[in-house]
Chains A and B, each alone.
Chain A
Amino acid sequence: MHLVVIGLNHHTAPIELREKLSISEARISEALAALKALGVAECLILSTCNRTEVYACTSTRSDDAAIIECIGEVCGVRPEVFIPHLYSHAGHKAVLHLFRVASGIDSMVIGEAQILGQVKDAYAAAGGLGYTGPVLNSVFRQAIVVGKRARTETDIGRGAFSVGSAAVQLARSIFEDLKGRTVLMVGAGKMSELAITHLVSCGTSTLLVANRTHERASSLVSRFGGQAIPFDDLPSALGSADIVIASTGAERPVITGDLVLSAMRVRRGRPMFFIDIAVPRDVAPEVESIDNVFVYNIDDLQAAVDADAGNRQAEVAKIEAMIGQELEQCMRWFRTLDAVPVVTALRDKFEEIRSTEMDKLSRKMPELTPEQLEAIDAATRSIVNRICHNPMIRIKEFAAGSDSSDKIETICDVFGITPDGDTEEKREGG
């Protein structure tokens, strides 16, 4: 069995090309059928916005060119356009590549969680249509395990991935639980939507929107739920807001120290978290010095994201080591596949001898009753099974070891068998 991965990703190809070669969910089955028509035993397509990869398993050395041509045809792109951007890995390198992809260390944003889901989906899609077999099933199941291990055993998935999630994590360091918290949006800029999406998904209960133009406020309210309030009600709204996202286009700070001080009196000192996305700033500098008030602007949040990205980068080495172990395990299993034709050939050989002898016997001794023949048949089967048992176990063990070819060759020699490597054909022929 030969496993190969051919594809391109953000490391090798520009976005325009990746877009052209991305295969939408609806067209995956069509593409898989086209690949299958090339004569591959198993195939799977992983297509995300940053990568398009074909995993194929063939009984003989695969024909990369045919697969490449097939991708080009499905996507309507001439192969010479994208061939320079392709990578192709075979055997254990293909498995290594898949493990790195599934664990998120090959992603554009290292450690992002989406890719593992995309790997699962791609596997489910191909598996559901019956395009995967023993090799891809085993390799992909293990890749999903590797992806999960990477996320649970290392900190690759921790920290903020975006400004919005950085804001949520900071909010969590102030308020334990974001459920039931009130968020006030002052101004309704595009950037503030990013933050609000994250906060709302964390269960903040009340959203107040104060914007100078009412339409924009009500459009946000209709999308996220909440309440649009007149801009002049800002002082009273501050008193009930735990988290304030400011993004007005005002020239001067709209949230002054005095406003916040009086809000803090109403709040009886409960903490406030300001996220100032506006340029120039909406929150006056003196607000930062008020006790229990925390002000973060867009640069601070970006710095938090960058710091976390640095931490995640440091986790990559741990994951590479983990992948090394998993790869070894996978390759051991992979090598036992080499034993399959030998074992089948051995079994067939013994069975052939047995059935020939049984025929001879029944011809020589026609007086045997059907019951007696059946008993002899069962006994000889049992003999064959018992003779085969140990050699078969040993053959599988030899195959799992790294220098197996000599031993297996000797076994073939001793028993006079010639495994031709394609069990399917042999079975059909017999």
Chain B
Amino acid sequence: MLLSIALAFYCAAAVLYIRGLFAGSVRAFQVAAWSMAPGLCAHIAGIGAIGIQHQRPPFVNLFESLSFTSAVLVGLYLLTARKHRIGGLGLFVCSIAVLMLALGLILPRDVNLILLRHMENPWSTVHILACLVSYSALILAFGAASGYILQEHLLKTKRLNALRKHLPSLDVMDHLGYKMVSLGFTMLTLGIITGSLWAATAWGSYWHWDSKETWSLITWLVYAVYLHVRIVRGWRGKWANRLLLAGFMCIIITYFGVTFAASSLHGHTY
């Protein structure tokens, strides 16, 4: 129920953003940002309710993980939006949140009992939490990178339409992408380490070259390259941001691709 309310708010915000974009109305943008906050409150309450009701962490199946990730995504966006003028990214965040939450709501909500038994391990909660937060941050980094590439293209080709004005500045998007990768990369690293510690007790060894493990390593490497070229070589702009697009593809494969397509020890729950 609470999650449906959250979904309704996010939908409303997305519609307002689209209206703002096409009607060129600045007001619609402001109202949209305001309607995301109550959505997030309902969302957090909904997630909390699941945890309290079942007496376990509220992210043990795909539905719950999608819901949790989208809540963190919206939270990160709203936190950043307080400091920087990033209204134009709101549509991206809203759409992704709507997509994830709606997808989550139609998925079965069974809980894998084997997973629950393994969750008694203290590393498990940290592992899942770190991975989901890293997904959220890296999805937001992808949004910023897409915005950057679009804005860069508009400025280079001198298309002086309304879209350019609604998109945040290159500076802000580049900065946001970097910040989110810093957070996401740290969390991903933590997630991989705690995951292997959990694996050591649950499955008997630290690393299995399981498809999810392999893809998370590839993802980790892509973002490591981004941080390296940015910090050491001073890469900015189009190419650095294109790396973030590649990183996002890896995230999609790690998060969903492996879950649905390949047989993996992480199974159909994750």
Contacts and interface: CB of A to CB of B under 8 A. Distances in A.
Interface of A: 153, 155, 158-159, 169-170, 172-177, 268-271, 288, 291-292, 294, 296, 300, 303-304, 307, 311
Interface centre among A169, A177, A292, A304 (most CB of B within 10 A): A292
Given A174-B170, A294-B155, A311 B162 contact: yes
Interface in B189-237: 234-237
A303 B160 contact: yes
A159 B168 CA distance: 16
Contact of B24 (A269, A294, A303, A311): A311
Contacts of A311: 24, 162
B165 interface: yes
Contacts of B172: 176
Which residue, of A176, A271, A296, A300, has the highest number of chain B Cβ atoms within 10 A? A176
B259 to A, nearest CB: 37
B contact face: mostly helix, strand, loop, or mixed = helix
Interface in B223-259: 234-240
A176 B236 contact: no
Contacts of B155: 170, 173-174, 294
B152 to A, nearest CB: 8
Given A296-B158, A300-B158, A176 B169 contact: yes
Nearest to A303: B160
Nearest to A314: B24
B165 A173 contact: yes
B96 to A, nearest CB: 23
Nearest to A158: B26
A296 B235 CA distance: 23
A176 B171 contact: yes
Nearest to A174: B170
Interface of B: 24-27, 84-85, 151-152, 155-156, 158, 160-162, 164-165, 167-172, 234-240
B239 A291 contact: yes
B167 A173 contact: yes
A231 to B, nearest CB: 28
Contact of B164 (A155, A173, A268, A270): A173
A300 B152 CA distance: 16
Given A304-B160, A311-B162, A292 B238 contact: yes
Given A270-B236, A294-B155, 19 more contacts: A153-B27, A159-B165, A170-B155, A173-B165, A268-B236, A269-B234, A269-B235, A269-B236, A269-B237, A291-B238, A291-B239, A292-B170, A292-B238, A294-B156, A300-B158, A303-B160, A304-B160, A307-B161, A311-B162
Instruction: Please name the 5 residue pairs, one residue from A and one from B, whose CB atoms are nearest each other, closest first.
Output: A268-B234, A269-B236, A292-B237, A176-B169, A176-B171
Contacts of A158: 26
Contact of A155 (B25, B169, B237): B25
Contacts, number: 63
Contacts of A174: 155, 169-171
Contacts of B171: 174-177, 271
B177 to A, nearest CB: 14
A173 B169 contact: yes
A300 B154 CA distance: 13
8 contacts: A155-B25, A169-B165, A174-B169, A175-B171, A268-B234, A296-B158, A304-B160, A311-B24
Contacts of B169: 172-176
Contacts of A155: 24-26
Contacts of A303: 158, 160
Nearest to B152: A292
B231 to A, nearest CB: 10
A175 B236 CA distance: 14
Contacts of B162: 311
A106 B163 CA distance: 28
B158 A271 contact: no
B157 to A, nearest CB: 10
A176 B168 contact: yes
A175 B235 CA distance: 17
Residue from the set B84, B171, B239 with the largest chain A CB neighbour count within 10 Å? B171
B170 A271 contact: yes
A300 B160 CA distance: 9
B156 A271 contact: no
B229 to A, nearest CB: 10
A172 B238 CA distance: 18
Contacts of A170: 155
Given A173-B169, A174-B155, A307-B160, A271 B237 contact: yes
A174 B170 CA distance: 5
Contacts of A292: 152, 170, 236-238
Most buried by B among A155, A269, A311: A269
A173 B151 contact: yes
Contacts of A169: 165
A311 to B, nearest CB: 7
A117 to B, nearest CB: 22
A301 to B, nearest CB: 9
A159 B166 CA distance: 12
A285 to B, nearest CB: 13
Contacts of B25: 155
A173 B219 CA distance: 31
Nearest to B164: A173
A414 B102 CA distance: 72
Nearest to B173: A176
A172 B155 CA distance: 11
A60 B145 CA distance: 69
Looking at B26, B84, B168, B237, the one whose CB has the most chain A CB atoms below 10 A away is: B237
Given A155-B25, A303-B160, A307-B160, A173 B237 contact: no
Nearest to A294: B155
A170 B171 CA distance: 12
Contacts of B239: 291
Contacts of A173: 151, 155, 164-165, 167, 169-170
Contacts of A296: 158
Nearest to B229: A269
Name, among A158, A173, A288, the residue most crowded by chain B CB atoms within 10 Å (CB to CB): A173
Contacts of B237: 269, 271, 291-292
Contacts of A175: 169-171
